[in-house]
Chain A
Amino acid sequence: MCSNGPVLLDFWESPYGQRVRIALAEKGLEYEYKEEDLFNKSDLLRKSNPVYKKVPVLIHDGKTICESLIIMEYIDEVWSDKVKILPSDPYQRAQARFWADFSNKVCECGQRLWQLKGEGQEAAKKEMIEKLRLFEAELGDKEYFGGDNFGFVDIALVPLTSCFYTYETCANFKIEEAAPKIVAWAKRCMERESVAKSLYEPSKVYDFVCFLKKHFGFE
């Protein structure tokens, strides 16, 4: 354990936290992982992220950095001698930021999909399919969103793929029918150690979402 190395406050199932774990792994960085109990948040979390009190939070050199995409950019800039997560070209970098931000909208849409029923759920499902198709058009025939290189957009979107089974089961549809290239891309990403070690089995994610549904009365 490196006492001066980064510390990550996180929660196992958080797709936002998983983004940061994948980024740290891709950079080959050692860090201390602290699991938060989101129903009993630690003083450290409340103090490190007083604005949102949410994970993930990266603590580095006595400073705290919040928001997963912002943490990823920070990691890329600080450890600039390691493999690059963001493209060097300004235009490609801007495009990567645009699409990574757009993946947040997919995540928000996914939450509505399992929280709502009836018309609300149908609308969320339609929106999800539309957004995944946009991502599919952006991916095209590339191996990754970063081209030959697994990068920022791949890391931003891939944690949501372990929620696909949950979305499909809650809203009764098949993502592979709507966006087959995205499903194929997800399988390719899972062959990377950084991704395989950070994501959880879709069935485990589904069980957790069922628990959340019951706990928060979304049934």
Chain B
Amino acid sequence: MAEKEVKLFGNWASTYTLRVEWALKLKGIEYEYVNEDIPFNKSEELLRLNPVTKKIPVLVHNGKPLAESLVIIEYIDDTWTKGYSIMPKDPYDRAQARFWAKFADDKCMSAMYSVSTSSGEAQQKMLQEAREAFQILEQALGSKKFFGGDQIGYLDLAITLLAFWIPILEEIVSVSMVDNENAPLLKEWFTRILDVDMIKTSLPPRDKMYELSKQRREQFFSGQI
């Protein structure tokens, strides 16, 4: 059976890994999960499967490895064509979904990271840029229930990591990146998406992530990472 030959290499704290897990769950695909001790203790097997970027997540299907979470999600949708449809069908809608997923990764994630690793005036500047980025991202949502429309789709899977991380970082850094002033609809979507059963039950514990983020931030400022 194809399902028995699906293996996912990831990490419990990696929201990129979760993206892939959600895609597998939506399709009802059974898989074996291998937790990697990143970043300093990656397994030989991971390095053999992804010698190019050496990163998780890596999906192995029928012995063939694939890396990059968004590439993997599209592969899952292309391969298991029955059941839940993750990508939109129309070429323009697909282009839009890919565009906004890239914007979320390139601009929003890095903006969020810059806010949490800066201080003083520099942080104020980063915060302003981050708030603008999220305001722009909200355009992709509009008044829809989810980015995918009435049900969650590719873009929801891609962006949920922001819904999880932003409130945690806002609390640690004492700033507001997404609120009723710059992105009210996006803020409502954060609540909605984190309440989806599949997502709610698979996210790592918030307090554990809070402590991990706080620790990483302290390590960053003390020059350890």
Q: Please, which residues of chain B bring their CB within 8 A of the CB of A73?
A: 94-95, 98
Contact B71 A94, beta carbon cutoff 8 Å: yes
CB nearest neighbor in A for B91: A77
Shortest Cβ gap from B121 to chain A (Å): 24
Contact B75 A71, beta carbon cutoff 8 Å: no
Q: Please, which residues of chain A bring their CB within 8 A of the CB of B68?
A: 97-98, 101
* A67, A94, A97: the one within 8 Å of B99 (CB): A67
A78 at the interface (CB under 8 A from B): yes
A126 at the interface (CB under 8 A from B): no
Per DSSP, chain B at the interface is: helix
Shortest Cβ gap from A66 to chain B (Å): 6
A63 at the interface (CB under 8 A from B): yes
Q: Point out residues on B near A: beta carbons under 8 Å.
A: 51-53, 61, 64, 66-68, 71-72, 74-75, 78-79, 91-92, 94-95, 98-99, 102-103, 136
Known contacts A66-B99, A73-B98, A90-B79: A134-B74 contact under CB 8 Å: no
Per DSSP, chain A at the interface is: helix
Q: Point out residues on A near B: beta carbons under 8 Å.
A: 51, 61, 63, 65-67, 70-71, 73-74, 77-78, 90-91, 93-95, 97-98, 101-102, 134
Bound: A91/B72 CA distance, A: 9
Contact B99 A77, beta carbon cutoff 8 Å: no
Bound: A101/B70 CA distance, A: 11
Bound: A124/B108 CA distance, A: 25
CB nearest neighbor in A for B78: A90
Bound: A63/B99 CA distance, A: 14
CB nearest neighbor in B for A58: B95
Shortest Cβ gap from A16 to chain B (Å): 13
5 A-B pairs closest in CB distance: A90-B78, A77-B91, A94-B75, A74-B95, A90-B79
Bound: A66/B66 CA distance, A: 26
Q: Please, which residues of chain B bring their CB within 8 A of the CB of A70?
A: 95, 98-99, 102
